[in-house]
Amino acid sequence: MIYEKSNFKIVSDFKIMEIQKDEYNIDLIIPLEYRCVNLYFDNLPKYINSRVQFPKVKSILIRFCIIEDNNICTVHFLSDSGIHSTMANFEIDYIETYIEVIQSEFFVDMKIHENVK
């Protein structure tokens, strides 16, 4: 599945659902069924060998801004239902990146890629 809106792009093997929308933001949820998530970033510093891992992630919540000239999104890894179960979160500038969520048998690879210019 490919989801694109307001310069934001995500490619996912999992279902992507819009759960909330207002004049400023859109919230997306990607259910993962308590899988381990391996998080990869393009061009990580050399002292980080490969990935950051999060065990038992129920879902990924992504809130991205739809206001012109604000291309920030926040990615939350949820351990249960609701924003208050966030085990970790981070922000990215999505104008220069896209997100890929890849399903494997026992885990999920989430990759933050730089856009090719």
Helix (H, G, I), strand (E, B) or coil at 82: coil
Sketch the domain layout of the chain as residue ranges. Answer: 2-114
Across 1-117, the runs of DSSP E, i.e. the strands, are: 2-5, 8-12, 17-21, 25-41, 52-65, 72-78, 86-93, 97-103, 107-114
Other Cβ atoms less than 10 A from the Cβ of 28: the count is 24
pLDDT of residue 79: 95
pLDDT < 50 stretches in the chain: none
pLDDT tens digit string along 1-22?
999 998 899 999 999 999 999 9
pLDDT of residue 83: 76
pLDDT of residue 44: 86
Question: pTM of this prediction?
Answer: 0.92
Q: Are 102 and 87 in contact (CB under 8 A)?
A: no
Other Cβ atoms less than 10 A from the Cβ of 37: the count is 21
pLDDT of residue 117: 58
pLDDT of residue 115: 83
